[in-house]
Amino acid sequence: MKKTTIKDVASHAGVSAAAVSYVLNGKAHKVSEDTIQKIHDSVKALNYIPNISARGLAKNTSELVSIIIPQTESRKQLMLENPFYAEIISAIEAVVRDYGYHAILAGVDEGVSYLDISVSRNLDGAIIMGVYPERLYEECKKVNIPIVLIDSYIHDETFANVGIDDEHGGYLATSHLIAKGHRNIALVTGTIRRDGVVEKRFLGYKRALQENGLFYHPDYVFEDSVSYEHGRVTGRLIAERHPDITAVFATADMVAFGLIRGIHEAGKRVPDDLSVIGFDDISMAHMFLPPLTTVKQQISYKGETAARLLMEQIVGERPRRGAEVPRILIPLELVERDTVRLLNG
């Protein structure tokens, strides 16, 4: 079947190909309202799909932005198995689409050049999640496109940055368990790396213990990957071998779900035998049985905020080098549900 072209649309509408091009490329002010309506009617009637590549060449833009997720752990499927990413990526994509752009998703393994990705795709901008101050970040500074960071503890003012106070979030979760009477509190977490999200939540956990006069037990920290399976294995381990532990802070809801499954497999129950608190408040948290007590970060709002910052730079005036760039902190709140009980209460 022959592909419909601009000339076909023009012929069907009884206008010039130039008029069709104006309307499809955001220059409708150059033609009359009657012509605009005819063109839109013809586009719909012929089911015409614009050639994005051709439009990009004409406008010196690819109309593509990338969502980059550095793979910092050995489990390559983490990016797809955690609903947190689905929620934030959906929010970003919706904003980008509102601007007439398209988003592509890329997981970047250690050792892979971000410069290669940006050049080969001719990107107009990028959002990068959880980048560390190492090679990938240094490469980002060499790329001459707008970039917005999410959940990145980078100590300079090169790029706009959207995130939360992860240390405060870890403190909130642990303090809630302490307020419920728990004293032997475990932490189940992904890999703790310097200047990363997980490290900040770990530091909040330690601060809450210290401020309440509780001893920090290194043996109560179970560190591996941000995954359901890590939670499940650790849940069984805690339930079977650590009768002293009465509560667990999981630094991600997916880990908390695995924990609860593992605890149940070991013949114990949440919250009757062990209390569990998560972090993120992904959409599944209130559907889970029992519904998960967790620290809520506004995942969709975080993605929307980052996307708007990026698109404003792409379609508007980009900040000059050295100019102050925003660092936006999204507020946190504790959501009480059914996985934490009052000890001896």
Residue 122 has pLDDT above 90, yes or no: no
The DSSP secondary structure of 170-212, one letter per residue, reads: HHHHHHHHHHTT--SEEEEEE---TTSHHHHHHHHHHHHHHHT
Residue 79 has pLDDT above 90, yes or no: no
131-153 pLDDT, tens per residue? 776 655 666 667 778 889 999 98
For the chain, give the percent of residues with pLDDT over 90: 56
Q: Which of 72-76, 98-102, 231-235 bottoms out in mean pLDDT, i.e. has the lowest?
A: 72-76
Q: Which of 287, 297, 222 is nearest to 257 (CA)?
A: 287
Q: What is the mean pLDDT of residues 21-47?
A: 82
Residue extents of the structural domains in the chain: 6-50, 64-164+300-330, 166-297
Residue 57 has pLDDT above 50, yes or no: no
- State residue 136's pLDDT score: 59
Distance CA 257, CA 114 (A): 33
Q: Which of 116-120, 174-178, 244-248 bottoms out in mean pLDDT, i.e. has the lowest?
A: 116-120
Distance CA 135, CA 288 (A): 39
Instruction: Give the CA-trace dihedral at 172, 175, 180, 185, to 10 degrees.
Output: 110
- Structural contact between residues 159 and 147, judged by C-beta atoms closer than 8 angstroms: yes
Q: What is the mean pLDDT of residues 189-200?
A: 93
Residue 121 has pLDDT above 90, yes or no: no
For the domain made up of 64-164+300-330, the CATH class stated in words is alpha beta
159/205: higher pLDDT: 205
Distance CA 170, CA 166 (A): 6
- State residue 28's pLDDT score: 66
> pLDDT confidence of 162, banded at 50, 70, 90?
very high
13-27, 32-46, 88-102, 209-223: range with highest mean pLDDT: 209-223
Q: Name every residue whose Cβ is closer than 8 Å to that of residue 244 and which is 6 or more positions away in sequence.
A: 184
Same fold flag, 64-164+300-330 and 166-297:
yes
> Per the structure block, which two tokens stand in for 312?
């404003």
- State residue 289's pLDDT score: 93
> pLDDT confidence of 60, banded at 50, 70, 90?
low
Residue 74 has pLDDT above 60, yes or no: no
Distance, first Cα to last Cα, the chain? 72
50 upstream amide cis, omega within 30 of 0: no
Does 166-297 carry CATH code 3.30.465.10?
Answer: no
Q: Tally Cβ neighbours within 10 Å of residue 202.
A: 22
Q: Which of 43-57, 78-92, 188-202, 328-342 bottoms out in mean pLDDT, i.e. has the lowest?
A: 43-57
- Structural contact between residues 267 and 238, judged by C-beta atoms closer than 8 angstroms: no
Rounded to 5°, angle at Cα 343 from 342 and 344: 110
Burial 306-345 (b: 16+ CB within 10 A, else e): bbbbbbbbbeeeebeeeeebeeeeeebebeebebbbeeee
- State residue 214's pLDDT score: 97
Mean pLDDT for all residues in the chain: 86
Distance CA 126, CA 38 (A): 36
